[in-house]
């Protein structure tokens, strides 16, 4: 409880330092006309406020840095200036000495524990597993530090999770959960986003990133995806050295995009094509992709490119992948109707819920930008379109869109005339042919063969059940109709008996009168009534 209270004061101090509450309320609730460059006065002010939020999150540490990073993937949640600023959140923090990391080294191969050994012993046991280990980290982020080492004379990267993260994260998550009502009120969230789902997604992301075995599994999965691709390289994992807090993998050589000194545009365009096509392959073929593909996580090599840092990955199911590919296909074919239908399926809405004409006009503009614009990011247009019509897109879609924007940014840095749709065309043609190929159909029927066989085996019994049901239904309806007819006849006969009874009573009364003509009429009526009564009785038998 004391930790939580103290953390509340720390958060409040940072928020007041940057005057965040009033600034955020003013920016998030405001609507105005802007442009892509953001050069108007209001844009400039909003950009300053977004920078303050980024700095505040960096001051508050790992949980808020990760919160900002996941918020930067949701342009349906924040204004675009905030999305762009938060996407620049830096994980770089003061590196810890190796002796301060002993809690994370507990149980590493040698099996010693903190309770059994002092700090020097734990560190010594850890270092004994390597031929060489450089104690100065080559990278230090909020969750882990990375070191350079050698095993069997092979260069490896050793990633070690920082100690004490889980306690800090749990306190921050409890506070964020307490602040949900304020987030809904001040931020205006809730109309097109479920804040509970968003925070659940955030917590799940943190749980996965603090356990380095998850990253090891991600790396192996990417190794399998690119096993036959010569120009895309993934580091191999050294399983025998991996724990929840330690990840050992091959050291990937290469240079960053910003450090590429060649001015040969053909070479730069080649790298842009490899990055773009490999990423689209991850997304639309495998549905499993690197969720943080900024320029620092892609290395350029003589033999292609290498991806690093696999803590954040994205996964999209087959239905969403199919709809997204159809959207891309509609854009590539410049067919508004195909793209429109795919977009509605992604947003899970019906045509009668939006202004179809206006939406198609805006979608046509998006298609023109995707096909003919050069030298600018285009993939954030989907979220902007959804935001304009207050549509709630799946979080998986928003995460992917943010990742595609990052990839576009890297490719545009390499090639100012880059357009992702050019690489998408080849992929779309390949996936479409694969989707409707006879081999795919045969594979589908093989996979589903047992289920269809069971259906055919049960088909005669099923048909018989249907016939029996229909027969029983018909008999039941016939019996019901018979009962209705009998009931109607009974009512009809009763009415006739009542009517004849009235005639007989009236005739008897008239026959008892002294006047001759009235008595005669009464006798005649009585005789006729008795006759009709007899006829009715005989018919009813």
Interval 418-452: pLDDT, tens? 888 788 877 877 777 776 666 665 655 565 555 55
pLDDT at 161 > cutoff 70: yes
pLDDT at 92 > cutoff 80: no
Three-state SS for 298-309 is EEEECCEEEECC
Same domain flag for 454 and 376: no
pLDDT at 113 > cutoff 60: no
Token pair listed for 389:
């019509």
Q: Whole-number mean pLDDT of the chain?
A: 79
pLDDT greater at residue 417 or residue 250: 250
Of 310, 326, 238, 232, whose CA–CA distance to 277 is shortest? 232
The DSSP letter of residue 48 is H
**Phi and psi for 333 in degrees, rounded to 5?**
-85, 0
CB atoms < 10 A from the CB of 268, how many?
20
Q: How far apart are CA 101 and CA 162, in angstroms?
A: 6
Q: How far apart are CA 180 and CA 425, in angstroms?
A: 43
Q: Where are the beta strands (DSSP E) in 375-491?
A: none
pLDDT of 49 reads 84
pLDDT greater at residue 218 or residue 259: 218
pLDDT of 450 reads 59
Q: What percent of the chain has a predicted confidence (pLDDT) above 90?
A: 23
Asked whether 130 and 217 are in contact (CB, 8 A), the reply is no
Domain containing residue 464: 448-475
Domain-embedded: residue 489: no
Domain-embedded: residue 392: yes
Q: What percent of the chain has a predicted confidence (pLDDT) above 70?
A: 73
Domain-embedded: residue 107: yes
pLDDT at 111 > cutoff 50: no
Same domain flag for 101 and 10: no
pLDDT at 509 > cutoff 70: no
pLDDT at 344 > cutoff 70: yes
Pick the last residue of a domain from 251, 275, 302.
251
Same domain flag for 179 and 270: no
Same domain flag for 403 and 276: yes
pLDDT tens readout for residues 41-52: 566 777 888 888
Pick the last residue of a domain from 251, 278, 305.
251
Same domain flag for 192 and 234: no
Same domain flag for 400 and 471: no
Domain-embedded: residue 531: yes
pLDDT of 204 reads 83
pLDDT of 40 reads 59
Task: Give the confidence band of 297 by pLDDT, cuts at 50, 70, 90.
Answer: very high
Same domain flag for 296 and 357: yes
Q: How far apart are CA 31 and CA 156, in angstroms?
A: 51
Q: How far apart are CA 353 and CA 194, in angstroms?
A: 19
Token pair listed for 194:
């479920």
pLDDT tens readout for residues 493-506: 677 667 777 777 77
3-state DSSP call for residue 262?
coil
In b/e form, how buried is each residue of 301-340, taking b as 16+ CB within 10 angstroms? eeebbbbbbbbbbbebeeebbbbbbbbbbbbbeeebebbb
Same domain flag for 411 and 424: yes
Q: How far apart are CA 294 and CA 219, in angstroms?
A: 17
Residue 125 burial (C-beta neighbours within 10 Å; 0-12, 13-18, 19+): middle
pLDDT tens readout for residues 234-256: 999 999 999 999 999 999 999 99
Asked whether 47 and 13 are in contact (CB, 8 A), the reply is no
What CATH number does residue 229 fall under?
3.30.200.20
Q: Do the strands 232-233 and 304-307 form a parallel or antiparallel pair, or are they unpaired?
A: parallel
Which residues on neighbouring strands pair with residue 158, listed in sequence order? 147, 248
Q: How far apart are CA 343 and CA 324, in angstroms?
A: 8
Mean pLDDT calculated for residue range 439-468: 60
CB atoms < 10 A from the CB of 19, how many?
12
pLDDT greater at residue 30 or residue 363: 363
CA 522 vs CA 175, 258, 530, 536: distances in Å: 101, 123, 12, 21
Token pair listed for 334:
């410049």
| Rg of the chain taking only CA atoms, in angstroms | 38
Domain-embedded: residue 488: no
CA 330 vs CA 372, 381, 382, 425: distances in Å: 15, 15, 13, 11
Domain-embedded: residue 480: no
Give the end-to-end CA distance of the chain in Å, rounded to a whole number.
92
- Claim: this prediction has a pTM higher than 0.85: no
Q: How far apart are CA 250 and CA 126, in angstroms?
A: 18
Same domain flag for 471 and 333: no
CA 111 vs CA 57, 63, 103, 276, 518: distances in Å: 37, 30, 13, 44, 127
Of 155, 174, 158, whose CA–CA distance to 166 is shortest? 174
Same domain flag for 313 and 218: no
pLDDT of 341 reads 92
Domain-embedded: residue 464: yes
Token pair listed for 518:
């009235």
pLDDT at 86 > cutoff 70: yes
Asked whether 242 and 227 are in contact (CB, 8 A), the reply is no
pLDDT of 459 reads 58
Domain-embedded: residue 365: yes
**What is the tally of structural domains in the chain?**
5
Same domain flag for 218 and 137: yes
Q: Where are the beta strands (DSSP E) in 429-491?
A: none
Of 296, 155, 304, 138, whose CA–CA distance to 238 is shortest? 155
Return the minimum-mean-pLDDT range out of 67-76, 77-86, 124-133, 378-387.
Answer: 378-387
Same domain flag for 270 and 400: yes
pLDDT of 112 reads 44
């Amino acid at each position: 409880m004391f930790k939580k209270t103290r953390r509340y004061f720390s958060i409040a101090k940072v928020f007041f330092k940057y005057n965040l509450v009033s600034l955020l309320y003013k920016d998030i609730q405001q609507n105005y006309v802007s442009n892509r460059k953001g050069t108007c006065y209001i844009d400039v002010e909003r950009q300053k406020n977004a920078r303050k939020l980024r700095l505040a999150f960096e001051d508050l540490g790992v949980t808020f840095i990760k919160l900002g990073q996941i918020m930067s993937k949701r342009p349906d949640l924040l204004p675009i200036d905030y999305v762009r600023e938060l996407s620049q959140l830096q994980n770089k923090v003061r590196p810890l000495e190796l002796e301060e990391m002993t809690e994370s080294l507990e149980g590493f191969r040698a099996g010693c524990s903190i309770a059994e050994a002092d700090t020097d012993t734990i560190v010594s046991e850890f270092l004994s597993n390597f031929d060489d280990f450089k104690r100065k980290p080559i990278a230090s982020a909020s969750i882990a530090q990375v070191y350079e080492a050698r095993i069997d004379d092979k260069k490896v990267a050793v990633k070690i999770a920082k100690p004490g993260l889980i306690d800090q994260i749990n306190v921050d998550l409890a506070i964020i959960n307490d602040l949900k009502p304020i987030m809904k009120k001040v931020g205006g969230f809730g109309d097109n986003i479920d804040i509970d789902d968003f925070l659940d997604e955030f917590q799940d992301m943190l749980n996965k990133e603090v356990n380095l075995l998850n990253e090891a599994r991600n790396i192996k999965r990417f190794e399998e995806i690119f096993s036959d691709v010569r120009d895309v390289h993934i580091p191999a994992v050294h399983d025998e050295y991996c724990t929840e807090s330690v990840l050992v993998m091959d050291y990937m050589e290469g240079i960053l995009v910003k450090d590429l000194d060649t001015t040969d545009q053909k070479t730069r365009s080649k790298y842009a094509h490899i990055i773009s096509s490999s990423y689209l392959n991850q997304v639309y073929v495998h549905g499993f992709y690197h969720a943080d593909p900024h320029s620092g996580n892609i290395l350029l090599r003589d033999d292609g490119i290498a991806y690093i840092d696999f803590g954040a990955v994205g996964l999209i199911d087959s239905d969403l992948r199919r709809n997204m590919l159809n959207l891309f296909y509609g854009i590539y074919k410049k067919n508004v109707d195909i793209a429109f239908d795919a977009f509605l399926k992604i947003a899970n809405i019906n045509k009668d819920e939006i202004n179809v004409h206006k939406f198609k006009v805006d979608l046509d503009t998006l298609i023109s930008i995707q096909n003919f614009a050069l030298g600018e990011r285009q993939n954030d247009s989907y979220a902007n379109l959804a935001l304009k019509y207050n549509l709630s897109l799946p979080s998986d879609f928003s995460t992917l869109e943010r990742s595609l924007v990052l990839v576009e940014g890297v490719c545009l840095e390499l090639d100012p005339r880059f357009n992702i749709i050019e690489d998408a065309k080849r992929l779309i043609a390949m996936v479409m042919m694969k989707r409707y190929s006879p081999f795919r159909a045969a594979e589908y029927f093989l996979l589903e063969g047992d289920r269809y066989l069971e259906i055919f085996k049960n088909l005669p019994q099923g048909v018989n059940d249907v016939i029996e049901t229909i027969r029983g239904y018909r008999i039941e309806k016939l019996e019901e109709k018979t009962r209705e007819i009998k009931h109607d006849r009974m009512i009809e006969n009763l009415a006739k008996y009542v009517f004849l009874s009235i005639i007989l009573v009236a005739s008897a009364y008239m026959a008892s009168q002294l006047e001759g003509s009235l008595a005669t009429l009464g006798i005649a009526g009585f005789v006729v009534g008795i006759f009709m009564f007899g006829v009715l009785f005989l018919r009813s038998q």
